[in-house]
Amino acid sequence: MNSQIRYLMCPPDYYDVDYVINPWMEGNIHKSSRDRAVEQWHNLYKILKEHAIVDLVPPQPGWPDMVFTANAGLVLGDRVVMSRFLHKERQGEEPFFKQWFEENGYKIYELPKDLPFEGAGDALLDREGRWLWAGYGFRSELDSHPYLAKWLDIEVLSLRLIDERFYHLDTCFCPLTDGYLLYYPAAFDSYSNRLIEMRVAPEKRIAIAESDAVNFACNAVNIEQVVVMNKASDALKARLSEIGFQLIETPLTEFLKAGGAAKCLTLRVTEPIREEVHANMPVESRIVRMEGHLLDAGLINRALDLVVDNGGSFQVLNFQLGEQRQSTSRAEIKVSAPSHGVMEEIISQLIDLGAVDLPEDERDAKLEPVTVAGVAPDDFYVTTIYPTEVRIQGQWIKVENQRMDGAIAVSQTPQGWVARCKLLRDLEVGEQVVVDVQGIRTIRKTESREKRNAEEFSFMSAGVSSERRVELVVEQVAWELRKIRDAGGKVVVTAGPVVIHTGGGEHLARLIREGYVQVLLGGNAIAVHDLEQAIMGTSLGVDMKRGVAVRGGHRHHLKVINTIRRYGSIAKAVEAGIIKSGVMYECVKNNVPFCLAGSIRDDGPLPDTQMDLLKAQAEYAELLKGADMILMLSSMLHSIGVGNMTPAGVKMVCVDINPAVVTKLSDRGSIESVGVVTDVGLFLSLLVQQLDKLTSPYTAKVS
Ligand SMILES: NC(=O)c1ccc[n+]([C@@H]2O[C@H](COP(=O)([O-])OP(=O)(O)OC[C@H]3O[C@@H](n4cnc5c(N)ncnc54)[C@H](O)[C@@H]3O)[C@@H](O)[C@H]2O)c1
């Protein structure tokens, strides 16, 4: 027996499963056998007494879980941080444990009342005493960790639990003597797993299988080379013995029914301090404010979910609900993250949702110079489609040329500060670029509920529409097209060759002829197949009138490319009378600018196809400027390219037969985009029919 090591246990006189506060308790209320529990507890007590001193805290009627003394508090040296139980079912244990620590001369630290922390159940010392592993996610709050670091003067490494069966850190994680670690990796998020891998060498990590984890193999008591647990598989036994541990199995099945085993039933109350170890707490906190229709637009839920999903935790400090139908709500949220990297990820996503720093916390954006042309400083802020502002010398500056996936370059001009979205490749040496996530905000329109509903109704709201809704969407797109044309606005169409193969070419040509389209963007293929149809009557060798393959038709498109190459451009071929109809013909005849961006799979290419991709991107961006609406017709490649260049506020309609493509393109988190899963030929034919109805004298009279 080692007289330097002491444990605290609580006899199971009142132990039972009386309520459900974890998944193990479900279906087990009053199902545990008192006699068996007493016997199992005594067996464990006896084993521990052979290796250490065991003190007892008197059990209390009405507090059945007091038997799990691991949750009494966390001890280091002569200090104890008392638990603050999350569930009221256990809060009554707190004074009894506190009394025991007081009577035994510990210096007591108590967390604020509303900050849950469940003691050594969620905080485990590295057995070499180098640092403290602290869990959060279910019972303990991340915000409790900085207190542990301060009070116990130790480095705290925060680990996030993600499997509710392993609700306390000690259910899936057990540091062992000599720096070994027994753990169940699937119980942690990827950030935590990386942290574990950074701190514990591969040969010291014993990752256990789920079958061992559910037997609570990690809920083990380790005293020097001895490991005591409920049960272990042969493989785990072999592994532990290989590295010199003596495994003692002692069944604790009655306690498993309440979600605990050996470690939960004990608290080590002698933990030596290493003098050279000091506090280090990477947990960061920030307070942000959100304003708008937080509840009915679901913004607050999205914000809080994204904080947790990314490994942070939050506390809503203040929530003012809009009192009138029109008025907006306002929330102040304290966000905590286990490291600066995680905090940056969370805050950049919160900025996308319109969150801003509290005015009293506002700081200027951080700037760093470009040192290599075309390369941003590490940690640069990646832009989104939303209108953005950056704070420079106390002033909020609007970012120009807003687009996603760029960097923000800031420069001083005689007129003042200018901030611009720039692509990485356009960054010049010496330019100042915004890094980190401070001093940045996105501007969200907080339209009135009525206006938003009307907009959403008239534009179907963001989302993928099912076949049944196609006609309704077509009707609304037709209205929009009419409205934009009549107001002299700008509609950009991105189209793939499927438009031609599905017979939609004549409809698109008509839209161009009738002034509904101001710009056409696509690749080599839409033009090649349209020209093939115009010159040879086939599309990919299929006769478009009879629907049958033509002999030798597979060569048609190459012959067409060759012809256009002979003339030098599509426009010259139109001029020469070689092309008399089709999409490209209408573009030329109606002075509708087009840009054909090249790709690796292009045949030819046509002389008009821009094979310099950087130039093609620049031409696309130029032609997209000022667009009111973009119709994306069955070209994943070009539509995604266009989507990335387009700021929020431009209406987008994406038509594709593949729901995944539609979801990707229309899921911009803005109300102006709508997806239609349907055949593009059918969509275009319905669209021209609808436009015909709108312009027929009958409809005109009725409306
Ligand atoms: N001969 C050529 O030169 C040639 C031929 C083909 C493609 N290309 C080039 O390859 C690149 C990619 O081509 P892309 O844009 O055709 O391909 P893409 O894969 O980017 O997009 C085609 C899209 O059409 C969708 N689709 C298929 N059938 C449909 C239907 N009936 N109705 C609605 N949607 C339908 C698909 O789901 C897909 O998302 C382009 O630059 C193109 O010019 C060149």
Q: pLDDT (tens digit, 9 = 90+) per residue, 438-466? A: 999 988 765 544 454 444 434 444 455 55
What own/partner pairs with CB < 8 Å and gap ≥ 24 does 575-583 have? 578/535, 579/531, 579/534, 579/535, 580/534, 581/509, 581/534, 582/505, 582/509, 582/530, 582/531, 582/533, 582/534, 583/495, 583/499, 583/500, 583/505, 583/508, 583/509, 583/512, 583/520, 583/526, 583/527, 583/530
Instruction: Choose the weakest-confidence range: 294-303, 591-600, 617-626, 648-657.
Output: 294-303
Task: Give the span between the Cα atoms of 598 and 594, in whole angstroms.
Answer: 13
* pLDDT tens-digit readout, 156-192: 999 999 999 999 999 999 999 999 999 999 999 998 9
Distance 600 CA to ligand 1 centre (A): 13
Bridge partners (DSSP) listed for residue 631: 493, 653
Provide the pLDDT for residue 454.
46
Distance 497 CA to ligand 1 centre (A): 6
Distance 637 CA to ligand 1 centre (A): 8
Distance 645 CA to ligand 1 centre (A): 20
601 lines ligand 1 (CB under 6 A): yes
Whole-number Cα distances in Å, 609 to 210, 261, 526, 594, 595: 56, 70, 11, 10, 7
| Omega prior to 12 cis, within 30 of 0 | no
Instruction: Choose the weakest-confidence range: 189-198, 418-427, 540-549, 574-583.
Output: 540-549
**What's the mean pLDDT in 629-640?**
95
Provide the pLDDT for residue 648.
86
Question: Residue 700 above 60 pLDDT?
Answer: no
Query: What is the helix, strand, coil percentage profile of the chain, to 5?
Result: 35, 25, 40
The catalytically annotated residue of 10, 218, 264, 587 is 264
Question: Residue 193 above 50 pLDDT?
Answer: yes
611 lines ligand 1 (CB under 6 A): no
Q: Ligand 1: which of 602, 639, 684 to mutate, judged by most atoms within 8 Å of the beta carbon? A: 602
Ligand 1 atom closest to the Cα of residue 661 is 39
Provide the pLDDT for residue 696.
61
Contact 155, 280 (CB under 8 A): yes
The catalytically annotated residue of 10, 51, 145, 168 is 168
Provide the pLDDT for residue 701.
42
523 lines ligand 1 (CB under 6 A): yes
List, edge to edge, every strand of the sheet that includes 629-633: 464-465, 673-677, 651-656, 629-633, 491-495, 519-523, 594-597, 609-610
**What's the mean pLDDT in 190-196?**
92
Q: Ligand 1: which of 494, 500, 508, 524 to mutate, judged by most atoms within 8 Å of the beta carbon? A: 524
Within a 13 Å sphere around the CA of 581, how many CA atoms are in the beta-carbon half? 12
Ligand 1 atom closest to the Cα of residue 603 is 3
Superfamily of domain 456-693: putative lor/sdh protein like domains (3.40.50.10690)
Cα dihedral value 55, 57, 63, 64, nearest 10: 30
Cα dihedral value 235, 237, 241, 246, nearest 10: 170
Quote the distance between the C-alpha of residue 542 and its chain's center: 45
Ordered by start, the domain boundaries in the chain are 6-268, 283-359, 364-437, 456-693
Given pLDDT bands bounded at 50, 70 and 90, which one contains residue 354?
Answer: confident
Task: Give the span between the Cα atoms of 53 and 45, in whole angstroms.
Answer: 10
| Residue 264 falls in the annotated catalytic set | yes
Question: Residue 315 above 90 pLDDT?
Answer: no
115 lines ligand 1 (CB under 6 A): no
Q: Select 6-268's CATH number: 2.30.130.10, 3.40.1410.10, 3.40.50.280, 3.75.10.10.
A: 3.75.10.10
| Residue 168 falls in the annotated catalytic set | yes
Q: Select 283-359's CATH number: 3.30.1330.10, 3.40.605.10, 3.30.70.2690, 3.20.20.140.
A: 3.30.70.2690
Helix (H, G, I), strand (E, B) or coil at 584: helix
Distance 633 CA to ligand 1 centre (A): 10
661 lines ligand 1 (CB under 6 A): yes
**What's the mean pLDDT in 73-99?**
96
Provide the pLDDT for residue 464.
52
Contact 647, 670 (CB under 8 A): no
Contact 144, 117 (CB under 8 A): yes
- Listing DSSP states for 466-491 in one string gives PHHHHHHHHHHHHHHHHHHHHTT--E
CA nearest neighbour of 132 among 167, 159, 160: 159
* pLDDT tens-digit readout, 104-134: 999 999 999 989 999 999 999 999 888 999 9
Sign of CA dihedral 528, 530, 536, 539: positive
Given pLDDT bands bounded at 50, 70 and 90, which one contains residue 554?
Answer: confident
Provide the pLDDT for residue 459.
47
Contact 262, 220 (CB under 8 A): yes
539 lines ligand 1 (CB under 6 A): no
Ligand 1 atom closest to the Cα of residue 502 is 31
Question: Residue 327 above 80 pLDDT?
Answer: no
Residue 27, Cβ density class (10 Å: 0-12 exposed, 13-18 middle, ≥19 buried): exposed
Ligand 1 atom closest to the Cα of residue 501 is 31
Helix (H, G, I), strand (E, B) or coil at 413: strand
364-437 maps to CATH 3.40.50.720: no
Contact 144, 116 (CB under 8 A): yes
- Tell me the percentage of the chain whose pLDDT exceeds 70: 94
Provide the pLDDT for residue 461.
47
682 lines ligand 1 (CB under 6 A): no
Question: Residue 321 above 80 pLDDT?
Answer: yes
Given pLDDT bands bounded at 50, 70 and 90, which one contains residue 295?
Answer: confident
Contact 358, 287 (CB under 8 A): yes
List, edge to edge, every strand of the sheet that includes 156-160: 123-125, 132-136, 156-160
Provide the pLDDT for residue 448.
44
CA angle 487/493/494 to nearest 5° reads 160
**The amino acid at 652:** M
pLDDT top residue among 33 and 56: 56
Residue nearest to atom 5 of ligand 1 (CA): 525
- Listing DSSP states for 500-515 in one string gives HHTT-HHHHHHHHHTT
Backbone φ and ψ of 189, nearest 5°: -75, 175
Rounded to 10 deg, the angle between the 467-486 and 680-695 helix axes is 50
Distance 588 CA to ligand 1 centre (A): 23
Distance 473 CA to ligand 1 centre (A): 23
Q: Ligand 1: which of 474, 539, 595, 656 to mutate, judged by most atoms within 8 Å of the beta carbon? A: 656
Residue nearest to atom 16 of ligand 1 (CA): 496
Residue nearest to atom 24 of ligand 1 (CA): 634
Provide the pLDDT for residue 445.
64
Question: Residue 196 above 50 pLDDT?
Answer: yes
Place of tokens 């101001």: 518
Ligand 1 atom closest to the Cα of residue 639 is 20
Name the pTM for this structure. Answer: 0.73
421 lines ligand 1 (CB under 6 A): no
Residue 312, Cβ density class (10 Å: 0-12 exposed, 13-18 middle, ≥19 buried): buried
Given pLDDT bands bounded at 50, 70 and 90, which one contains residue 577?
Answer: very high
